[in-house]
Structures are given as C-alpha cells and as structure tokens.
Structure 1
C-alpha cells in the first residue's frame, strides 16, 4: 500500500543522494513568511490568499516580490516589497522550528552515509540567519545552494537549474536520476522533476490535488 502514490511503485528507482528544499521542508519559516505577506497586503488594503501562497511558494526572492506586487496590485515596486518583507522576517528567522520529523530523518540519512544537500530559493544571508542556531544539524549537509544569491543559478524554481547545480557539487557528481528531492512547494516539485530527479512533495493541507499529483510521491506531515 502506497498512500498518496502519484505514480505506480514500479517507477520508483534506486537513489544514492538526497537533496532537500529548506523553507517549509526542513524548517517552518512559512508561518513567518505568510504573516509578512498578509501584513504587506493589509497595509494597502489588500488580501493575501491561499491561491497566491501556492503560486509564489518556492520562487526566488525577487520573483516572489514581483508576483506579490502583481497579484495584490500593490502601489509599490517589487524592490520595496522585498525590503519590507525582509525587515519583517529577519529577526524572527533564527528561532523558527523544525518541520515535524525533519531533524530525525536528516540525522538518520547522515548516520547511514547518505550524501545530503540543500537547494533553497532563499539568499545566503537569510539562510545564515535561519541556520545560525541549528548548526549541529545543518553542519551535516555536504553543501547548500542559495538560489537568490548564487551566481550560477540563472533561473529559479520551477526551472531545474538549482537542483542540477546542487547535484553537480557533490564530490562524486551523481546523475540527476540518482538524486531524490524533498519539496513542499509546487514550483519546487516542478523544478525537481524537470531536473530528472524523483521528487517527494510534503504539501500543507491547502495545496490542491493538481499541485501535488505530478510528484513521484506525496507525504503528509502525519506520515512523517
């Protein structure tokens, strides 16, 4: 029995490396982010909706800000939107919690010699804040690719660039088909699949079927 199996089990292939998204997959920054998005909208009498949330999740910071301004028809530039967002979230990021089961699973992979890395749309400065009080865990990762600041990442999720670059930075440079991706966002799932990697989605309850059905497999929080 395979709960929420999006493709027949016969299509599952052996993997050697695991790549994680960060926000909403390893750590619960989404609660902070959504509060910031709502506050920005409310300042201009606009409402931030679940549909907007699903459509911007996983995007690099500049694209997130651009979409927010467009979706909510805000009278500010994307650059101003991004700066407001960052000023709202920065001091809260070091204290964000782990997602259920994430820490235990990551330690299990590390203890069993599975190479692990992170491919996040966040910028390096914000990743440093998010991981500053959790280096005992984040020190287990081979490397972290930060899509909003890494010069090699030319296109953000849903394009495959960040996952292909992340795979190439493992010492043994595994083929994409040997990498397993964990994601919480639709754009991230599309990026992992476009990179030729099996991709597991761990969506929140508000993600509609069409946004997770393309994933190789879906996990729910209560299954982890």
Structure 2
C-alpha cells in the first residue's frame, strides 16, 4: 500500500485502486461533531474540576459510547458510572449537536459519488439518538446514504472500532456486498483507520491536525481535507469540469 502523508496533489495510484463502493465515518469527517463532542465531554468533566484532554479524546474517537465513557471516567477518576455519564451526555445532545455543520468538501464529494451511481454508506460510532440530534437539520444530505450503520447501538456490531466489526457489518448491508478490497473508507480517527484496514479495505484518512504522523501510517493516504481528494486516484469518476 502506498502511503502518502498530507498529500494534496499528484497522481496517487494505490495498488488496489479500483473502488466500487465507499463508506464514510461521520464525526469529524463529514460533520464538525468531534469538536462538539469535546465541548459536551468537557462540560461533564468540568463539574468535577477535570480536563478532557486531547490524549484522552484521541483514544475515544471512533469507539462505542460505552467504551469512550468508561475510558474517560477511568482516566480522570470521575465519581460516575457509565450510565450516569451517558445520562449527562444525553441531556446535552439536542443543544450541542444542533449546531453541527458539514465539513469542507463533504457535500461536493458525496453528491458527486451519488450522481455517478457509486454506492455510499455511513459507518458511525453514534447511537440512534445522537445521530438524529446531529443530522436532523441535514436530512437531505444524509438521505443519500444506504446503508447507515450506527455502531453505538447496532446489535450486529459486537465490537467498536478499532475492531473491524463495524466495517464488516456495513459492507454486508450494501444491496450487493462487494469484495472488501474494492471498498474505500473515509476516516478521521486512528481507531477507525485500523478498523478499515483490518476489514481489508483501503482507507483515506483526514485527521485532526493534532494527530501525529505516526498514527496516519496505516492509511492508504492521509489528506488535510476532503477538498483535497481526487476520486480518479482510486478509479472513481473524476469531478466534472
């Protein structure tokens, strides 16, 4: 696999370049909700005089809600159970996530793939309730995806990212499930990249600028923004001129 960190141009041609299906993570990739999660998590931690640090957040990104809650509680020694944490988080969902915005390049890329008949899916660690809070004001955009797999409470996804379950299940729910080698995953989190790679798929990573380069190396390519992605580099139809 060709690795190209922070590539924004050139003729990238990965070994398995012919992509037929695309799966998108959501938080921090299509929506700015990773920033909103940070705000919501910090609101809880502040009640106990604690800081939700980047190192804790990076470990939590992409994980199921229970796993991220437990990790944060354990790391900060918070006097909360996982259920209590989730209750506090739930009370913030509609307020915080109603401010979600599409990230640069998301609308253009998704609309382009849809118009060219490329099957596109969502594979998110969100629960159904969180998904509704984040996407209700972007309903037209998210109506383009099928399937939408919400790993937070999907009974078939036994293990969250970085385990490959999430992407294996999503792949199986395409109308005509493809060979994983022809599936392209878009991710922002190291846990998600590992999950996609372990599922046998190619992965484009669009990481937060704070993610060290050493944690982008498993991706097929790492970009600064979805705006930098060239579909033809993976055998997909190029953008219309």
RMSD across aligned C-alpha pairs, in angstroms?
1.6
Partner of 1:135: 139
Contact 1:94 1:130 in 2 (8 A): yes
Partner of 1:65: 69
Contact 1:32 1:89 in 2 (8 A): no
Partner of 1:188: 192
Larger CA deviation: 93-102 vs 193-202: 93-102
Partner of 1:89: 93
2:170 is aligned, of 157, 160, 166, to 166
1:9-20 matches, within 5 Å, as 9-20=13-24
Report Cα offsets for 1:46-72 as digits up to 9, x if no partner. Answer: 111111111110101010100110111
- The TM-score normalised by the length of structure 2 is 0.87
Cα offset for 1:9?
A: 4.2
Q: Please give the secondary structure, in 2, of the residue aligned with 1:11.
A: coil
Q: What CA distance in whole angstroms lies between the structure 1 residues aligned with 2:75 and 2:67?
A: 12
1:196-211 matches, within 5 Å, as 196-211=200-215
Q: What CA distance in whole angstroms lies between the structure 2 residues aligned with 1:94 and 1:141?
A: 20
Cα offset for 1:12?
A: 4.0
Q: Please give the secondary structure, in 2, of the residue aligned with 1:133.
A: helix
Q: Give the number of equivalent residue pairs.
A: 221
- The TM-score normalised by the length of structure 1 is 0.93
Q: Please give the secondary structure, in 2, of the residue aligned with 1:117.
A: strand
Are residues 1:24 and 2:65 paired?
A: no
Query: Which structure ranks higher in relative contact order (CA pairs < 8 Å, sequence separation ≥ 6)?
Result: 2
1:79 is aligned, of 71, 79, 83, to 83
Q: What CA distance in whole angstroms lies between the structure 2 residues aligned with 1:95 and 1:105?
A: 22
Partner of 1:176: 180
Q: Please give the secondary structure, in 1, of the residue aligned with 2:40.
A: helix
Contact 1:19 1:180 in 2 (8 A): yes
1:154 is aligned, of 158, 174, 177, to 158
1:102 is aligned, of 66, 83, 106, to 106
Q: What CA distance in whole angstroms lies between the structure 2 residues aligned with 1:70 and 1:206?
A: 23
Contact 2:14 2:220 in 1 (8 A): no
Partner of 2:6: 4
Partner of 1:120: 124
Are residues 1:46 and 2:58 paired?
A: no
2:59 is aligned, of 51, 55, 58, to 55
Unaligned ranges ≥5, structure 1 = none
Contact 1:158 1:188 in 2 (8 A): yes
